[in-house]
Amino acid sequence: MLNVAMEFRKGILFIRLYGILNDSTLNIFEKEVKEVILKAGILYVVLNVSNLIEINKNGVIEIKRLKRLIKKNNGMFFLYGAEITDLKKLVNLDSELKVFERVVI
């Protein structure tokens, strides 16, 4: 099961994932995360994966796709809670709130 919590503060969408991000939960990620970002035109996203107990290869691929989507729209994508080494040039945060030091809106 995957649970998604979102909070929008000062122009930045904070997404917190809980549970499992794998083949059986990717549809939840698509509907609750990617569709919201696209429909609302959100440019700044912090994805917190620290509360995931499992993520598989396809979950990592979806995170990469989300990063590319945001970058394509001239936004910024930040990851908190894990080092995903094959996400090149990704800004990993040591605290969610550090994003306010990097983003000027």
How does pLDDT run across 20-35, given as a tens digit for each residue? Answer: 999 999 999 999 999 9
Specify the higher pLDDT residue, 58 or 97: 58
**Which CATH number is 2-100 given?**
3.30.750.24
Specify the higher pLDDT residue, 95 or 24: 24
- The per-residue DSSP string of 28-53 comes to HHIIIIIHHHHHHT--EEEEEEEEEE
Q: Is the pLDDT of residue 83 over 70?
A: no
For residues 8 and 80, what is the distance between their CA atoms, to the nearest angstrom?
16
**Domain ranges for the chain:** 2-100
Q: Is the pLDDT of residue 88 over 50?
A: no
**8-12, 18-22, 85-89, 95-99: least confidently modelled range:** 85-89
* 8-state DSSP, 23: T
